[in-house]
Amino acid sequence: MKTLHLDLGERSYPIHIGSQLLTRAELYQPHLKGRMSAIVTNETVAPLYAKQVKETLESLGQKVCVIVLPDGEVYKTWETLQKIFDGLLRETADRKTTLIALGGGVIGDMTGFAAASYMRGVPFIQVPTTLLSQVDSSVGGKTGINHPLGKNMIGAFYQPAAVLADLDTLKTLSPKELAAGLAEVVKHGAIADVKFLDWIEAHTAELNRCDAAAMEFAVLRSCEIKSDVVAKDEREGGLRAILNFGHTFGHAIEAGMGYGEWLHGEAVGCGMVMAADLSTRLGGITDADAQRLKNIIAALHLPTVPPSFGVERYLELMSVDKKAEGGEVKYIVLQPMGQAKITKVPESTVIETLKATRAA
Ligand code: NAD
Ligand code: GLY
């Protein structure tokens, strides 16, 4: 097992990465403040992993309840959040009850938000079981739910007490979900570490077949990169936005197709191809760099050609980010490969990218 520390003063926490962590009682123990724990999970993950986690917590003398939610991004809603509170109140969970988020990013984001607000804040532990959640969403404390008018629009920054990324859980993921997580791995290389990108390029076959050693390095290096960024800018005053590389275009694809048609990671993969094209137009990277990134994304079985909604529809969809950012769409571009910057871009240049990438 490898352990990283996300340094956030009194909100610092360990990120444990390795095999067979779900049943390591000593990893949970320091973070259990009371006598009760509530595992929040979903219908898919519960039959796979809830028993192991429950028994491990019980071995520490915990009273454990399991709250099983429906599975899917469409359930990342206020109504489902209410089910978590219903379960906690029914079980008379108190201020010292620890929530355990056992699942992918949907479960992690919702459980974190429930922990932030139940009795004005209870501790929670992230136990991410998808690659996407291990390399990205479980780290950094962004929690929340979707609103019919926008994704992740209701939420809170609320850091977990610990992250336990058990690499064995990745073995039950579908190839499509694995690829979606790999998109965020590529993102970390592209924005922060060109040597990591070289490594990804050289190991696409191992990553595609979920090779244990390759997964360990991919998760570890991704968590290091994300932790460094979050430690410098926890609440996204500026720098943290680089973690959204590919997301402005990606969110437009997700929303335009209807949530659930493209996985978040698939949309981010294709969004990075578009953001790389934009970067070439601003002189940040060469055409060869952009083509290379596209080849890596394709080699990881991610889509590289966006749906063609046309210019007007893309600009409209991307303006949701504009509302969230106080009136202007900000783009994350590469300059050079392995580094990212946040910038405004003339609309005419964005349109060139939409046309060149066949989005319009
Ligand atoms: P997800 O949580 O929907 O999980 C994907 C699917 O895999 C689900 O059907 C789930 O039940 C299933 N699953 C989970 N673990 C499994 C396992 N070990 N074996 C088999 N199936 C398993 O999706 P995701 O990609 O993990 O996360 C996407 C969510 O994360 C989005 O809501 C996105 O907004 C959010 N996100 C948040 C952050 C953040 O910083 N908080 C960052 C990136 C993404
Ligand atoms: N996934 C973007 C962030 O955590 O800031």
- Cis geometry, peptide bond prior to residue 336 (ω within 30 degrees of 0): yes
Tell me the per-residue pLDDT of 117-163, one tens digit each, with 9 for 90 and over: 999 999 999 999 999 999 999 999 999 999 887 788 899 999 999 99
Choice from 126, 222, 226 to test ligand 2 binding pocket (greatest atom count within 8 A of CB): 226
Give SS3 for 269.
helix
φ/ψ of 344, rounded to 5, equals -85, 150
In this predicted structure, what is the pLDDT of residue 260? 80
Tell me the per-residue pLDDT of 14-39, one tens digit each, with 9 for 90 and over: 999 999 999 999 999 999 999 999 99
In this predicted structure, what is the pLDDT of residue 325? 67
Quick one: average pLDDT of 47-52? Answer: 98
Q: Residue 97 pLDDT > 90, yes or no?
A: yes
Residue nearest to atom 2 of ligand 2 (CA): 243
Q: Which of 139, 166, 338, 124 is nearest to 227 (CA)?
A: 139
Q: Residue 178 pLDDT > 80, yes or no?
A: yes
Give CATH 3.40.50.1970 domain extents, the chain.
2-172
From the alpha carbon of 109, which atom of ligand 1 is closest? 41
Q: Which of 25, 92, 90 is nearest to 59 (CA)?
A: 25
Tell me the per-residue pLDDT of 316-331, one tens digit each, with 9 for 90 and over: 999 876 556 677 888 9
Give SS3 for 325.
coil
Task: Supply the DSSP string of 96-137, one letter for each residue.
Answer: TPEEEEEESHHHHHHHHHHHHHGGG---EEEEE-SHHIIIII
In this predicted structure, what is the pLDDT of residue 40? 99
Residue nearest to atom 5 of ligand 1 (CA): 104
Topology classification of domain 2-172: Rossmann fold (3.40.50)
In this predicted structure, what is the pLDDT of residue 159? 98
Please tell me the distance between residue 35's alpha carbon and the centre of ligand 2 in angstroms: 32
From the alpha carbon of 139, which atom of ligand 1 is closest? 40
CB-based contact 63:89 (threshold 8 Å) = no
In this predicted structure, what is the pLDDT of residue 150? 79
In this predicted structure, what is the pLDDT of residue 155? 97
Give CATH 1.20.1090.10 domain extents, the chain.
175-356
Please tell me the distance between residue 130's alpha carbon and the centre of ligand 1 in angstroms: 6
Burial group, residue 10, by CB count within 10 angstroms (0-12, 13-18, 19+): exposed
What is the DSSP secondary structure assignment for residue 49, as one 8-state letter?
A: I
Chain-centroid distance, C-alpha 343 = 22
Instruction: State the chain's mean pLDDT as an integer.
Output: 96
pTM of the model: 0.97
* pLDDT above 90: percentage of residues in the chain: 93
Q: Give the Å distances, CA to CA, from 282 to 203, 225, 347, 348.
A: 30, 25, 12, 12
Q: Which CATH superfamily is domain 175-356 in?
A: Dehydroquinate synthase-like - alpha domain (1.20.1090.10)
Of 31, 240, 294, 330, the catalytic one is 240
Helix extents (H) in the chain = 25-28, 51-58, 78-90, 105-117, 131-132, 175-192, 194-202, 204-208, 212-232, 247-257, 264-281, 287-299, 311-324, 347-356
Tell me the per-residue pLDDT of 266-312, one tens digit each, with 9 for 90 and over: 999 999 999 999 999 999 999 999 999 999 999 999 999 999 999 99
Residue nearest to atom 26 of ligand 1 (CA): 104
Residue nearest to atom 3 of ligand 2 (CA): 243
Task: Supply the angle between the helices 194-202 and 212-232 in degrees, to the nearest 10.
Answer: 160
Active site includes 195?
no
Q: Which of 187, 302, 159 is nearest to 243 (CA)?
A: 187
Active site includes 251?
yes
